[in-house]
């Protein structure tokens, strides 16, 4: 933490896959899990 934000202790999240925590925005972005893609289903594209 910095002198301008002494109240910030970091962030933490608990998921089924495990626990993640960190102090900065980059760590929070790295902790995002991408959604699973249904590879066994046909590809659907909208046409306009």
> How does pLDDT run across 1-46, given as a tens digit for each residue?
678 989 989 999 999 888 999 998 899 999 998 888 888 989 888 8
Give the burial class of 24: count Cβ atoms within 10 A of its Cβ; 0-12 exposed, 13-18 middle, 19 or more buried: exposed
pLDDT at residue 47 above 70? Answer: yes
Q: What pLDDT, on the 0 to 100 scale, is given for residue 2?
A: 78
Q: What pLDDT, on the 0 to 100 scale, is given for residue 44?
A: 85
| Closest-CA residue to 12 (of 2, 23, 4) | 23
């Amino acid at each position: 933490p910095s002198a301008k934000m002494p109240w910030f202790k970091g962030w933490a999240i608990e998921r089924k896959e495990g626990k993640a925590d960190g102090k900065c925005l980059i760590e929070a972005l790295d902790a995002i899990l991408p959604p699973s893609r249904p590879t066994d289903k046909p590809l659907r594209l909208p046409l306009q």
